[in-house]
Amino acid sequence: MKAMLPVFCRPLGYVILVLSLFFPFLLVMQGAVTDSNFLFYKECTKLLMMLGALMILLALTKDESQETERIRVNAMRYAVFLTILVVFGGMLYRVAIGDLMSVDTSSFLTFLVMNVICLEYGIKKATVDKLFKR
């Protein structure tokens, strides 16, 4: 899978992820989040997290090569498998406790986060392998 975004989008994606994690807490402490606008802030936070994760996944690395593309594809495969496990585990948990009201709506976000984790692990592993093969 070829990268479609420039190199600077990768650190920018991490900045967006960090902001989307901490900004809602700051809004709650300031009293900006109420019962009437909670859903809006929740969905906006999810969208920001998805945007940040996609920027990380689709950005070029400094030393982009065929191996990086292969790592990106493998990360996608591992992320699909791990996401299925997490979503299935959540389904089993909700069935076990008899929860009829809640629904998992963050499967795509879970997939993106798993994909970023697998991609970063693959890139770091390839870097370490290069160091020790010399």
pLDDT for 16 equals 95
Digit-coded pLDDT (tens) for 16-61: 999 999 999 999 999 999 989 999 999 999 999 999 999 999 898 8
Helical residues (DSSP H) of the chain, grouped into ranges: 9-30, 38-58, 66-97, 107-133
Q: How far apart are CA 42 and CA 28, in angstroms?
A: 12
pLDDT at 117 over 90: yes
Does 100 score more than 90 pLDDT?
no
The whole model's pTM is what?
Answer: 0.81
- 78: exposed, middle or buried (C-beta count within 10 Å: 0-12, 13-18, 19+)? middle
Q: Return the number of other C-beta atoms located less than 10 Å from residue 46's C-beta.
A: 15
CB atoms within 10 A of CB 133: 6
Kindly state the tokens that stand for 27.
């809004």
Query: Which residues partner with 5 through β-bridges?
Result: 59
pLDDT at 28: 92
Neighbours of 9 (CB within 10 A): 19
Query: What pLDDT does 128 receive?
Result: 92
By the 8 A CB rule, do 23 and 59 touch? Answer: no
Domain boundaries, the chain: 9-133
